[in-house]
């Protein structure tokens, strides 16, 4: 589904990713862990097509297409979802409006009819119920005044409604209390643990991985993957720290 080969990227002319390779198949959940400043968020920004992140070498294909050649909205329409460490607030635009616009833009790019207001609300209600979310939250402006936990729950509803093929979630667990962590974990499992979907979970800590069991764990240090393994690698990292494992 996703194939990253020898990816090099710079931010403000500073090399950050230095030969990163990673392959993710449908049905798999991968976790990337690593010390602060390793380039984890840079990887998610590069995959999302954020301006200012320049790829200087290497390739990325998504479902066989050249991802780096696609505009950010084309990446989303192709089924890529990005969850961010710090979700943006959009005053004056309700979640319902925002999500309906986003979903319909993606449907249009796929040659599908837009959903009407009624059809969209029915879908939103279904997804909110599935994730045990409050519909009232969906009527509020996007993320405005939401607590850290609410933003992450909201991100799960966004993901449920947009129904991506591949979700890249950057530190979705940061700042969450135990209940919110469980909700997010359940959300990821409910929406994304399917044979035709895949997840790349970027996380600092092992704790989210207690709820979402990864198939593969990778250590990212200084811009490349320095070690890969199974779920046990996350526990080793937690016990021994990055310095020893990545050395």
Provide the binding-site residues for Mg ion, judged by CB under 5 A. 36, 40-41
Q: How far apart are CA 85 and CA 78, in angstroms?
A: 22
| Residue 21 CB-half CA count within 13 A | 5
Separation of CA 207 from chain center: 17
For position 11 contacting ligand ADP by CB under 6 A, the verdict is yes
The minimum distance between CB 158 and ligand ADP, in angstroms, equals 21
21-60 residues near ligand ADP, rule: CB under 6 A = 34, 36-42
For position 230 contacting ligand ADP by CB under 6 A, the verdict is no
For position 221 contacting ligand ADP by CB under 6 A, the verdict is no
The minimum distance between CB 155 and ligand ADP, in angstroms, equals 17
The minimum distance between CB 116 and Mg ion, in angstroms, equals 39
Class of residue 64 by CB neighbours under 10 A (exposed 0-12, middle 13-18, buried 19+): exposed
Quick one: what does residue 14 bind among ligand ADP, Mg ion, none, with the CB cut-off 5 to 8 Å set by partner type?
ligand ADP
3-class secondary structure per residue, 11-43: ECCEEEEEEEEEEECCCCEEEEECCCCCCHHHH
Q: How far apart are CA 42 and CA 111, in angstroms?
A: 32
Tokens 């320095």, located at residue: 226
For position 203 contacting ligand ADP by CB under 6 A, the verdict is no
Instruction: Select from 4, 7, 16, 156 the one that contacts ligand ADP (CB under 6 A).
Output: 16
Quick one: what does residue 8 bind among ligand ADP, Mg ion, none, with the CB cut-off 5 to 8 Å set by partner type?
none
């Amino acid at each position: 589904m996703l194939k990253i080969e020898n990816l090099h990227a710079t931010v403000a002319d500073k090399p950050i990713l230095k030969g990163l390779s990673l392959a993710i198949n449908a049905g798999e959940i991968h976790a990337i862990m690593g010390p602060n400043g390793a380039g984890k968020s840079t990887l998610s920004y590069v995959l999302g097509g954020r301006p200012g992140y320049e790829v200087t070498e290497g390739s990325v294909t998504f479902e066989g297409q050249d991802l780096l050649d696609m505009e950010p909205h084309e990446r989303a329409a192709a089924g890529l979802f990005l969850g961010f460490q710090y979700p943006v607030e959009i005053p004056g635009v309700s979640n319902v409006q925002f999500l309906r616009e986003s979903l319909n833009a993606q449907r249009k790019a796929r040659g599908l009819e837009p959903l009407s207001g009624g059809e969209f609300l029915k879908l939103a209600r279904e997804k909110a119920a599935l994730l045990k979310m409050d519909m009232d939250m969906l009527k509020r402006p996007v993320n405005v005044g939401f607590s850290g936990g609410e933003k992450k729950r909201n991100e799960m509803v966004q993901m449920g409604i947009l129904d991506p093929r591949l979700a890249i979630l950057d530190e979705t667990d940061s700042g969450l209390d135990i209940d919110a962590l469980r909700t997010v974990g359940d959300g990821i499992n409910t929406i994304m643990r399917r044979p035709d979907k895949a997840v790349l979970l970027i996380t600092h800590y092992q704790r989210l991985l207690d709820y979402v069991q990864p198939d593969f764990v990778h250590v990212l240090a200084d811009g490349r993957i320095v070690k890969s393994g199974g779920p046990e690698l996350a526990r080793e990292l937690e016990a021994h720290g990055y310095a020893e494992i990545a050395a």
